[in-house]
Structure 1
Amino acid sequence: MSESEEVVRGEQRDGNKRKKKKRKEKKKDIEEEEEKREEGQIKEEESESVLLHGIFKVGKKSHDVLLTKTRLTWTPIIPETPTGDANLLQPGVMLLEDVFAVKVKRRRAAGQQSGGPVLGMALFCCRRRGQKLEEDTLHLHNASAEHTHTWYNTIKELLTGFSSRPKRLKVFINPSSHKKEAVHIYREHVAPLFKMADVQTDITVTERKGHALSVMKECKLDEFDGVVCVGGDGSVAELCHALVLRAQLDANSPEKPVKSVLPLGIVPAGSTDVVSCSVHGVRDPVTAALHIVLGHLQQVDMCSFTALGQLVRFGFSAMFGFGGRTLARAEKRRWMPSSRRREYALVKTLARLRPEDCQLSYLPAKKSNCSLFGPRDQDQDQDPEPEGKESWTTNRGQYLSISVMSVPCLSPHVPRGLAPNTSLANGSASLIAVSNASRSDFIKHLKRYGSSSGQFNFSFVETHDVSAVRIRPHSLVSWSEGESEEEADSKSTPIIPSEGGVAFPWNIDGELVEMANEVLIRVHPGLMTLYGEEVEEAESAVSCSCI
């Protein structure tokens, strides 16, 4: 191992240690906060005054209830014993930032739609269980209509103070995604929560690929506070692309990417849902809906993909080589169940594993004295196409796989993510270049993605933080040469054609894109806002058994 490679390995180990330490500290802080809440030790700020003080029944016992601008606390009322002692019980605490709706409770006869005597009120909130957000309800009983409505109006006014919470949403549902359950998922799990939170929706059920893009070009965005996508990664990528293009159009900036003016909420209904998992930690529609109604916003970096000076699309991740070939084979077996289709494509691509001869250039996200590819000549550092004062690093070689990801790409099968060394909004992307290696070594590399770490601890795997990447394939034959007639798709044409007609498959956010020329990938910090939050690890599931 060369000296430069040892330096890179050392930096990777140090980076992993820092991330582990950060996760432990964060977990410790969360545990301490939970303990404080359970023990009733979270004290109100001195500047925070009590807005309302009253008595409600919680369950069958009377409680002394206090309301401030940020929280609601309730303490059981226990009469003193004959000796003058009183049992001290810890109060319950509910933060208003976790409350998404409040309703007045009434007693109504069967079939009665309105009116009825007041029974009290109900507060609807979310509770955390691991990565999941679950709906919960606190019932406060009081038969006084005046007393109840005073509390109801005050809490309602406080909830309207959360400016990031949407009131009007444009919803896109892809009925063809994965098991074709998107419409059912929305109606059963998401729509009731939107209705409860008084969120108005305008729904479009997409009929074809590109439908959402065409609707977004004509949509009156000022009528909405956000956009929601119910579908898989392909639907998410299309809407993100549409939102950025619309922002460019409205800003009259055709050359420079412009940040989307509306946040996007992702309700997972696909087969992998890596973007949803990266901001939720789980593939759960209720968790996604609660992040939306509570207005949890997360800035996210995006990439632009350009070929021959022409914008192909905006997205979060791209795979060239093994990842692109695997997806291309899977797309030709759409009639198979999704799990079988993925396993078939994976095994078939491994059986015909071969590297791509290409020139790989990258622009480091920060200055570094060590090379990603080891020693090289001074003239290799020159940008093949000058772009200002940027200092590019270039190398030509045989690569089994090249991945560029601006988000960690978490999933149940890869809990730490395909790119665990990056985050949602650090202004850079993770470049993972896998040089030519034996099939057995490459499989070992793939299998380690399902474990906690170690997938990059191979001499043929290189990683680096980058702000831009350029990939120029040099192969003179298309990827499908040598395939059987059954597998070859004569109707497939490249998105970006070339004179020779050679097209290379790319996996861009789970969508197959065929391009025949050099591709330039640039990272644009904070280009998109998603409903969700930064998560360290996704909820794990049983990994693929085919390898």
Structure 2
Amino acid sequence: MSEPEEELQGEKRESTKKKKKEKRSGKKKKKEEEEEEEEEEEQSECVVLRGIFKLGKKSHDVLLTRTKLSWTPILPETPTGEVCVVQPDMVLLQDVFAVKVKRRRGIGQQSGGPVLGMALFCCKRRGRWLEEDTLHLHNASSEHTHTWYNTLKELLTGFSSRPRYLKVFINPSSHKKDAVHIYREHVAPLFKMAEIRTDITVTERKGHALSVMKECKLDEYDGVVCVGGDGSVAELCHALVLRAQLDADSPEKPVKPVLPLGIIPAGSTDVVSCSVHGVRDPVTAALHIVLGHLQQVDMCSFSSLGQLVRFGFSAMFGFGGRSLARAEKKRWMPSSRRREYALVKTLARLRPEDCQLSFLPVKKSNRDFFAHLEHDQDQDPESEGEESWTTNQGLYLSISIMSIPCLSPHTPQGLAPNTSLANGSAALIAVGDTTRSEFIKHLKRYSSSSGQFSFSFVETHAVSAVRIRPRSLIGWSEEDSEDEGESKTTPIIQSQGAAFPWNIDGELVEISHEVVVRVHPRLITLYGEEVDEAESNVSCSCI
């Protein structure tokens, strides 16, 4: 064998040895990890305390581990000596948000009194609804009760995602103007029970929360809470990202906020709340906050001529923008009537918009990548290269871009059922020019189970960026205005230049030029859990 061949054989042997060694090392590492997991599981299931408490009128054997509390009734022996096996009841500590010592007190007595036992305040699930429940453990021994109380308090403090101090914003003008009542009656008692301190700001005008967020010391808080509708939520989400950019001295690129946002629904549709809770229920929302249930959520940036307009979750151009513009002119109407009036009026004067629509499609393989991406806010969709943009020119009745499903009681499957909260993409829904009757059929199917996209004039795409460039930048005016005192040529939107109405998170935004929308995966953290469908008890009567 020649010398080069011997060297080659030697290299092969060394390579084989190295691979075998790495394989053994990998197996060893995997085995160590499995052993560590088993050890942690054993430790978590190890009994911390065991004692006797009365639940109702029966005595129970109660066991406490690091993850759960279980109890089994103590049964007397049968005359035959047979052992009756009873399955224990159980509550997970992750569902317990408070523990209190129970005492017997006289009328007017504020403190002291003989010990009666403990009360554990828990969260009980009923579908997507979360409800407060109480477990009463009776034992007259003060020493025994306080030992259990102190141990439970120590275990509950181990849930690091649970907030201790919250900055709360309440919009008293949202929907039926009962946000203050909702907070006082349903939310504040739960926060007090969980020993969560709050700093409350009742907003006085649009933009008030944004101005407060720019100035306050956020490092004092564990989270921010919004009590209001989608407009208030959008303002606070925008404010959180802007403040994060300011703190990081990064004016060009979005920065993920440190603090999570909790949403207490008090609006007319509460799309964002429904998307992270599944129901419009203040108690459910408050319990998600108290228990520290966190959900990473994608957001979009909307910019025009290189200038940031705002951050948000959804936008509608065309029909959605026009109907909102009409609704804003009828603020004196009740919200439901105003919404129906605007929809019917816009449908009566339905016309398409001639524009250039460009987008960056997200491949399926990339969606899996985005779904596991945590810190990718520096990603620029345009960095993927101009050649990857798809451009169409045509007439469109409606164009929607949504980074969340936009669930609501009116649309239980969501306006964008093909996207999710954190898949790193947005749903682009472009409705081309068609007849009024066909467009109404498309709209009606949003309130049913499916089929809203099964029309030849509707196209949907999963995208990372969208550019909408109206062919004619002369703006939009209501040709046949029937409002008193208005000229037929008076634009519905007054601005420095002619502007197109956009519906961004339920807020009317006037933009005169092209708009670029970019998706920023997992840009913000919300209290809640991802859901597939919202509960609906509303029948749409607007069409």
Give the shorter-chain TM-score range. Answer: 0.7 to 0.9
Return the alpha-carbon distance in structure 2 between the equivalents of residues 363 and 355 of structure 1: 23
The 3 A distance-change label for structure 1 pair 254 and 336 is same
Deviations 1:422-465 (A, max 9, x none): 00000000000000011111111011111111110000000000
The 3 A distance-change label for structure 1 pair 386 and 254 is closer
Aligned-partner SS, 2:149: helix
Q: How does 1:150-229 map to 2 (within 5 A)?
A: 150-229=147-226
Matched residue, 1:37: none
User: Offset of 1:367 from its aligned partner?
Assistant: 7.0
The 3 A distance-change label for structure 1 pair 203 and 386 is closer
Give the TM-score of the pair, scaled to structure 2: 0.87
Question: Is residue 520 of structure 2 the alignment partner of residue 524 of structure 1?
Answer: yes
Matched residue, 1:352: 349
Q: How does 1:355-504 map to 2 (within 5 A)?
A: 355-366=352-363, 389-390=385-386, 391-484=388-481, 486=483, 492-494=493-495, 497=496, 501-504=497-500
Aligned counterpart for 1:334 among listed residues 331, 334, 340: 331
User: Offset of 1:46 from its aligned partner?
Assistant: 3.6
Return the alpha-carbon distance in structure 2 between the equivalents of residues 135 and 426 of structure 1: 32
Return the alpha-carbon distance in structure 2 between the equivalents of residues 281 and 475 of structure 1: 40
The 3 A distance-change label for structure 1 pair 351 and 504 is same
User: Offset of 1:528 from its aligned partner?
Assistant: 0.4
Matched residue, 1:298: 295
Task: Compute the RMSD of aligned alpha carbons.
Answer: 1.6
Aligned counterpart for 2:282 among listed residues 282, 285, 292: 285
Return the alpha-carbon distance in structure 2 between the equivalents of residues 270 and 217 of structure 1: 24
Q: Given that residues 277 and 531 in structure 2 are in contact (C-alpha distance below 8 angstroms), is that contact kept between their aligned partners in structure 1?
A: yes
Amino acid at match of 2:520: H
User: Offset of 1:484 from its aligned partner?
Assistant: 1.6
Q: How does 1:311-330 map to 2 (within 5 A)?
A: 311-330=308-327
Matched residue, 2:510: 514
Return the alpha-carbon distance in structure 2 between the equivalents of residues 341 and 386 of structure 1: 39
Matched residue, 1:127: 124
The 3 A distance-change label for structure 1 pair 143 and 449 is same
User: Offset of 1:475 from its aligned partner?
Assistant: 3.1
User: Offset of 1:238 from its aligned partner?
Assistant: 0.3
Percent identity of equivalent pairs:
82
Aligned-partner SS, 1:63: strand
Q: Given that residues 79 and 86 in structure 1 are in contact (C-alpha distance below 8 angstroms), is that contact kept between their aligned partners in structure 2?
A: no
Higher gyration radius (CA): 2
Deviations 1:102-138 (A, max 9, x none): 0000000000101100000000011111110000000
The 3 A distance-change label for structure 1 pair 387 and 56 is closer
User: Offset of 1:149 from its aligned partner?
Assistant: 0.4
Return the alpha-carbon distance in structure 2 between the equivalents of residues 132 and 271 of structure 1: 19
Aligned counterpart for 2:99 among listed residues 102, 123, 127: 102
User: Offset of 1:485 from its aligned partner?
Assistant: 6.0
Aligned-partner SS, 2:455: coil
Aligned-partner SS, 1:279: helix
Q: Given that residues 317 and 406 in structure 1 are in contact (C-alpha distance below 8 angstroms), is that contact kept between their aligned partners in structure 2?
A: yes
Return the alpha-carbon distance in structure 1 between the equivalents of residues 493 and 420 of structure 2: 35
Q: Matched residue pairs, number?
A: 483
Return the alpha-carbon distance in structure 2 between the equivalents of residues 162 and 179 of structure 1: 36
Q: Given that residues 493 and 499 in structure 2 are in contact (C-alpha distance below 8 angstroms), is that contact kept between their aligned partners in structure 1?
A: no
The 3 A distance-change label for structure 1 pair 262 and 393 is same
Aligned counterpart for 1:230 among listed residues 204, 227, 234: 227
User: Offset of 1:478 from its aligned partner?
Assistant: 2.9
Q: Given that residues 78 and 86 in structure 1 are in contact (C-alpha distance below 8 angstroms), is that contact kept between their aligned partners in structure 2?
A: no
Matched residue, 2:80: 83
Give the TM-score of the pair, scaled to structure 1: 0.86
Q: Given that residues 51 and 67 in structure 1 are in contact (C-alpha distance below 8 angstroms), is that contact kept between their aligned partners in structure 2?
A: yes
Amino acid at match of 1:284: D
Aligned-partner SS, 1:283: coil
Return the alpha-carbon distance in structure 1 between the equivalents of residues 364 and 334 of structure 2: 46
Return the alpha-carbon distance in structure 2 between the equivalents of residues 386 and 466 of structure 1: 12
Amino acid at match of 1:207: E
Deviations 1:58-91 (A, max 9, x none): 0111000000000000001111110012332221
Return the alpha-carbon distance in structure 2 between the equivalents of residues 246 and 181 of structure 1: 29
Aligned counterpart for 2:57 among listed residues 57, 60, 64: 60
Q: Given that residues 325 and 492 in structure 2 are in contact (C-alpha distance below 8 angstroms), is that contact kept between their aligned partners in structure 1?
A: no
Aligned-partner SS, 1:431: strand
Q: Please identify, of 485-494 and 73-82, the stretch whose mean Cα deviation from structure 2 is larger.
A: 485-494
User: Offset of 1:366 from its aligned partner?
Assistant: 1.7
Q: How does 1:13-92 map to 2 (within 5 A)?
A: 45-47=41-43, 48-92=45-89
Return the alpha-carbon distance in structure 2 between the equivalents of residues 79 and 502 of structure 1: 85
